[in-house]
Chain A
């Protein structure tokens, strides 16, 4: 039997209870740390061979080639390793669902069509086994996005370490999420509705979205006017209250839309409503790049591992969306395709774009700084810059290449336990076969 490469030795302490991770959250950073000797990829600037990153109190305090390392700092030698900001998945349901087919573990979608008031973070299961698995491969930041209906609710940016969802929430609300109706009837075996019925549903849903914005505006007006010059009091409506940050332009709407007519309709809607728009999905976005650029609409390319939507489309159509947007000057980032259990594969979605033309540096930016900017969290994360969170990964190689491994990880300077359920099971069963193997 071939000896399996052994990493750190893990204590096999599988708790009896399922659906709860065994990894213990890290303590707050209580002393400065300096990563020394590695190749540093700030993303916001040129890579620094033999660079140094110093962080203290959870923040990056210095970065560069010749950096004064404060006394008392813990020097960690990462010679031969690569230092990156944590990867960010801009579209996930992580924390909101544990086991796909087990309904009891699913908190992704509230019933009803108009749920602007629901907030993702309050249902994030801090003990989900999915978090340690995701962060094991360098993704420590993810947008948890409510699903379903037309206005699904508000997303939150989650950092994958903490005792509670409150500790894990880096920013909320990040955006209001909207599912744009299919503008063209779907013809597929799984579609249960006739084309006529689909069009009827579409028109009703478009009205509902429009109506929600109109009513939210009316509500905002009534609430503002209430009590002034004899205007009567207006009661509270949690749905429309939640819409006010959208109407005020404080948070964007992120609209799920792949088909060109969906995208065009969403842009027209956002322009007329004077709200900030981000398109998520974006399969056909390159076909209306001019429109997107003109109205400064960014696109979250939701994964490259997708089959072409139409038989005629180029076989690599989904692989090249990001590069085509880049060439057209449309701001974009790449997300992981919304698959909660395999958020860890985010980098490989970006890598596929590289194989089909996207420059490698762009691909890395597309899963770090670009999503941070699009989600409005680049003041905290997305690159290695002084003042930003020390949310850092140290790898054996290019994270876009599958064999590379994450060897060290910090979230706000806290050193993260890179063990996970899967590694523990691996160790457990390696032990089974070790015992069965004939002794030398």
Chain B
């Protein structure tokens, strides 16, 4: 090919990799351009000899009437630049008029045919009657649709974390010691998990290859967030053009990023926080510290004579969030973390935006009520494996339902009025954000809503609504040129414009050649051919005809420069294979050809008819809607709604074990009104509106109470990063989805004391819950139950049974005693500092220390202590410690040597909550005896039997029978070990624990004597609502099997075609659940958890 070397422009751009691109543009032939792109090393000698490589491509099919834009080169606009030129200055006009296009100004606001004027990277006019400025370069975009550029609302900088699949938690990855390489350095926070001072914009470098891929799917801006830590740092909003970082950054410090779901690690050298509970509280404490920091420095500035507060860059950078300023984006791996993020926002007054999980549909009402906007992932869940009978049998219904419901999540949220945006984070290459959102549109998300979620909403959330999100005049000229409706699967994004600079996409095609062309072969006797081109604009096929006959084109080769055709000419009277090529010139083809015998010819063609798409042979099936609505919690045992509370219920003809002064009543009745027991007796009249339950042959007991449980906690149970973690709260992580709740309900349990684990002498705060299956976490909390905390003594806290010595203080029972005493003293001092400061009314303000606050509440009698303890020496030492601070212990937990010092326990007034008969699972329980409970009871201790186990908690009634067997208590007294006594220990006996007028209607109905091993729980009531019914359970099993079968069929029919699975790093799959048991408690039965 000959190139007319008529140089029109040279441009130089600096790449961040140290090479310089020189783009030389030659104009060739009839307005066709050849771009010669030479990439050479940055060195003084720019002679061609140093060329590392060159590539050529042709920029054909652009109407000759238009000027040519160069792809991939920085536009030098009229804006000021600090970059000194190293060549001749450039001054190409940057005023464009995009004419004859369909313009979607904003979602729902469409101009059928109009003009968009861009000047200096800004949209200056948009509309149907807009005049084309005289200085504008005009691009005719007839048949094209313009949209505002899309915004990817969340992406992450490359993670410094080690391979997530490896056994290393976050704590292991970044030890807390400051000065380690992973620490930010400088005046940092004590925990390197709190790094609000890390700013992505400070280290941002555009990745041109990635930007190209983003532009290909229409993304013109994205949020780039830090990836590690609990308080991770701040994000920046960048455009995806090929400019330098300085021109790409649209906004810095857009939001602060945080996450609570730290991963469990087996490492014994983990740093705080090792658990989600710890992370939440670290987040909380950091904001309290930030508040203190501000006040402390204000005070110091007013009075430099005071002791100088510490300098802390992290706390300085935490200013400006409280009170709802700059947003805080919190990652949430499921719908419960969504609610926790909302809770954190409410508590600390933060403007929280939730980075969601796609599981929000599971608690749509609560998500809606939060009022929070949510950034949704688009990575679809893996298709559940159901191909073999065994797979089908063992897959969770929740997983099947999720597969079916996930694609409708976005639509459901939008319809509920929740503001949504989308994140392409975690998408595997080959899948695009736009493709994924189109699937959501197929499944109920409105097209306007989808566009809003990709443009207007993120622009508003990130504080750039005045600059991005629509094509209104005044906005940054970030836009998309598409060849149809954006959410139609077939539509291609052809161009993106960023800051008024045009980029072609991978799908770009200069002109659509489809249609009917009349060709004329030059010669003495011109011959006519008809060429019909169809198919995709970039992948053409077609026919060629002559004299009423036609044959298929064997090849239609297309690149930007030329069209190449070949066909078997025999049927057309042209022997052999004929080859032809053409170059487009102003709407006409200028071609040459070679006949089978080698003779060459010239030809020309003009289009005589436009392309008419063939109707679809089989119209695509409309995407199927989800088969079932979400239930609560999602899965085989979920409910459609909470059970109703009848105005009145009368249970009749039952043997009523009251656990109260009325003892056991044969053929007794219990009357319940509005959730409360109002009468108990032999014969009670039913009020007119009462639901009457004939319980003939049945036994009714109070709902059972488990004084030591780890059920329904999603926070990791143990925060093991420090020996004292009084600040962490089980209550932050109530898991209302825990299937154990249902199973325990089915065993007659209604209340559980959910405790922190036993890893620390002073553990975290407990949460008493009622097993209100189907309710939200907050609704599960036992309203009014006094707050408490877990303490622990002995082997676990001194880590005796760990493989390696950690060296953590304490390592002896001596140290445990001292640590607790020391902490109590510290809390008293803490209170005094506050009292003194308040009294003085001036001076340096003390800081709020959530750990010492909690301890002070203990000393003030406002918080109950439940202490894991075994040996008589440690029990006695603890009692004496508490007595010296004039505090009464609420319960001693486990307390298997309690029988040895029962007199001291009774005198102190502590309750004792133990296992009935476990022993010998570690050395400190070698002297455990099953007579322990009865013997302590006999000496005057309020004693209970607990489970500490999701398994045992399902049959506490028969555990109680062991106090009959071992120690000879009456059955009635023994039953109190799992009803009234634990209620007393938890100070909730005014509400529950016995069947007495005035108490909550928490009842279990048994088909035989409650302490008999052959009895079974038939119904369980809480607050006068029936939460478990064995008959309903049987029906639900049938229903669940039907649902399972239907969903499996749907997957086998529809899911099979979609074998490709997205497995990116940020895959929003079920996050690995933290431990659900106290793993630092040597168990008698090894690890539980379904396996």
Binding site for B on A (CB under 8 A): 1-2, 4-5, 18, 98-102, 129-130, 184, 186-190, 192, 194, 259-261, 264, 287, 305-312, 314-316, 337, 339-342, 344-345, 348, 351-352, 354-356, 360, 400-405, 422-423, 425-426, 429-430, 432-433, 436
Contacts and interface: CB of A to CB of B under 8 A. Distances in A.
Contacts of B926: 18, 99, 129
B902 interface: yes
11 contacts: A2-B938, A99-B922, A102-B923, A188-B1090, A307-B954, A307-B1090, A309-B1090, A310-B1090, A348-B1013, A401-B1014, A426-B929
B903 A436 contact: yes
Those 9 A-B pairs whose CB atoms lie nearest each other, nearest first: A5-B968, A351-B1013, A101-B922, A100-B921, A402-B961, A312-B636, A341-B920, A422-B929, A426-B931
Contacts of B1073: 188-189
A339 B919 CA distance: 11
B1089 interface: yes
B462 interface: no
B394 A184 contact: yes
A264 B391 CA distance: 13
B8 to A, nearest CB: 56
Contacts of B951: 305-307
B502 interface: no
A312 B396 contact: yes
Contacts of B740: 307
Nearest to B1074: A189
Contacts of A310: 394, 396, 1090
A189 B795 contact: no
A339 B952 CA distance: 14
A316 B743 CA distance: 8
A152 to B, nearest CB: 16
A169 B859 CA distance: 58
B920 A100 contact: yes
B961 A403 contact: yes
Interface string B946-975: 000011101100100110111110010000
Interface stretch (B701-709, B805-813, B1080-1088): B1080-1088
Contacts of B1089: 188-190
A117 B923 CA distance: 31
A425 B929 contact: yes
A337 to B, nearest CB: 7
B397 to A, nearest CB: 5
By secondary structure, the B interface counts as: loop
Contact of B393 (A287, A314, A339, A341): A287
Contact of A261 (B390, B929, B1014): B390
Given A190-B1089, A310-B396, A426-B899, 4 more contacts: A129-B926, A189-B1073, A192-B266, A344-B917
B1014 A99 contact: no
B779 interface: no
Main secondary structure of the interface of A (DSSP, over half): loop
Interface of B: 165, 167, 264, 266, 390, 393-394, 396-398, 635-637, 739-740, 742-743, 746, 795, 800-801, 899-900, 902-903, 917-923, 926-931, 934-935, 938-940, 950-952, 954-955, 958, 961-962, 964-968, 971, 1011-1016, 1033, 1037, 1040, 1044, 1072-1076, 1079, 1082, 1084-1085, 1087-1091
A425 B920 CA distance: 14
A312 B958 contact: no
A341 B919 contact: yes
Nearest to A259: B394
Contacts of B801: 101
Contact of A401 (B165, B394, B1013): B1013
Contacts of B920: 98-100, 129-130, 340-341
B831 to A, nearest CB: 38
A403 B964 contact: yes
B903 A348 contact: no
Contact of A101 (B746, B923, B961, B1013): B923
Contact of A102 (B397, B922, B928, B1012): B922
A435 B302 CA distance: 69
Contact of B739 (A102, A311, A351, A404): A311
A422 B930 contact: yes
A1 B1087 CA distance: 40
A400 B1014 contact: yes
A433 B902 contact: yes
Given A101-B795, A189-B1074, A287-B393, A308 B964 contact: no
Contacts of A403: 961, 964-965, 971, 1011
Contacts of A308: 739, 743, 1090
Contact of A99 (B397, B921, B964, B1074): B921
A96 B266 CA distance: 28
A342 B918 contact: yes
A426 B934 CA distance: 10
B426 to A, nearest CB: 18
A342 B1013 contact: no
B929 A260 contact: no
Contacts of B396: 310-312
A340 B1085 CA distance: 9
Contacts of A2: 938
Contacts of A189: 264, 1072-1076, 1089
A433 B938 contact: yes
A345 B1013 CA distance: 12
B1082 A4 contact: no
Nearest to B1028: A315
B965 A101 contact: no
Contact of B939 (A259, A287, A400, A433): A433
Nearest to A349: B1013
Given A4-B934, A194-B165, A309-B1090, A402 B964 contact: yes
Contact of A316 (B394, B746, B899, B919): B746
A401 B746 CA distance: 21
A104 B275 CA distance: 32
B955 A260 contact: no
Nearest to A310: B394
B628 to A, nearest CB: 14
B1082 to A, nearest CB: 4
Contacts of B1012: 401
A83 B801 CA distance: 43
B950 A307 contact: yes
Contacts of B965: 402-405
B403 to A, nearest CB: 15
A352 B928 CA distance: 25
Contacts of B636: 311-312
A316 B955 CA distance: 11
Contact of A355 (B962, B1016, B1079): B1016
A405 B931 CA distance: 14
A401 to B, nearest CB: 6
A190 B1075 contact: yes
B176 to A, nearest CB: 22
Contacts of B742: 315
Nearest to B872: A429
B1082 A260 contact: no
A355 B1037 contact: no
Contact of A311 (B266, B398, B917, B964): B398
Given A99-B921, A100-B922, A309 B1091 contact: yes
A308 to B, nearest CB: 7
Nearest to A197: B165
Residue with the greatest number of chain B CB neighbours at <10 A, chosen from A188, A190, A312: A312
Given A401-B1013, A402-B964, A312 B397 contact: yes
A252 B721 CA distance: 49
Contacts of B746: 315-316
Contact of B927 (A316, A351, A425): A425
A341 B940 CA distance: 29
A100 to B, nearest CB: 4
A360 to B, nearest CB: 7
Contacts of A402: 958, 961-962, 964-965, 1011, 1013
